[in-house]
Structure 1
Amino acid sequence: MSTATPARRRAHLTIADVCADLGVARSTFYDWRAAKKAPRCIKLPNGDIRIRLTDYERWLESLEDAA
């Protein structure tokens, strides 16, 4: 049984979550990641990628500042 609380689980987004929110293809996210233009990512031991919600929000704010 998981000890994580529901709030804890929502603190991390999947690539699918981010792509759906931005309306971009998964391949676009990986292109951004290769170019070091994606939000900071966490690689889990099983190879899955997660993005902290706080890092994602900070990344979006940085794009607003650059516009």
Structure 2
Amino acid sequence: MAKPRDEKLTIPEVIEEIGVPLSTFYRWRQLRKGPQAIKLPNGSVRIRRSELDRWMETLEESA
């Protein structure tokens, strides 16, 4: 069975899911405290579903 591709989320999809303002998300990125992102050649940014899930788990551990 083929392994499903890791979904690539847009920033609006991520902030909707985690429930933070866009400015907060960008501040986290600037401080390197957010999930690791992929910058595409056209300048847009995507976040892998697996990376978002991993990042959220690290937050649970430190809570």
Q: Structure 1 length normalisation: TM-score?
A: 0.83
After superposition, where does 1:27-46 map in structure 2 within 5 Å? Answer: 27-46=23-42
In structure 1, what is the Cα distance between the partners aligned to 2:45 and 2:22?
A: 12
Name which structure has the greater RCO, CA cutoff 8 Å, separation 6+. 2
5+ residue gaps in structure 1?
1-6
Amino acid across the alignment from 2:33 = K
Counterpart in 2 of 1:61? Answer: 57
In structure 1, what is the Cα distance between the partners aligned to 2:27 and 2:62?
A: 19
- Report the identity percentage: 50
5+ residue gaps in structure 2?
none
Counterpart in 2 of 1:13? Answer: 9
Amino acid across the alignment from 2:14 = V
Q: Structure 2 length normalisation: TM-score?
A: 0.88
Question: Which is worse superposed, 18-27 or 39-48?
Answer: 18-27
Per the alignment, in what secondary structure is the counterpart of residue 51 of structure 1?
strand
Where does structure 1 differ by over 2 angstroms across 4 or more consecutive aligned residues?
Answer: none
**How many correspondences in the alignment?**
60
Amino acid across the alignment from 1:12 = K
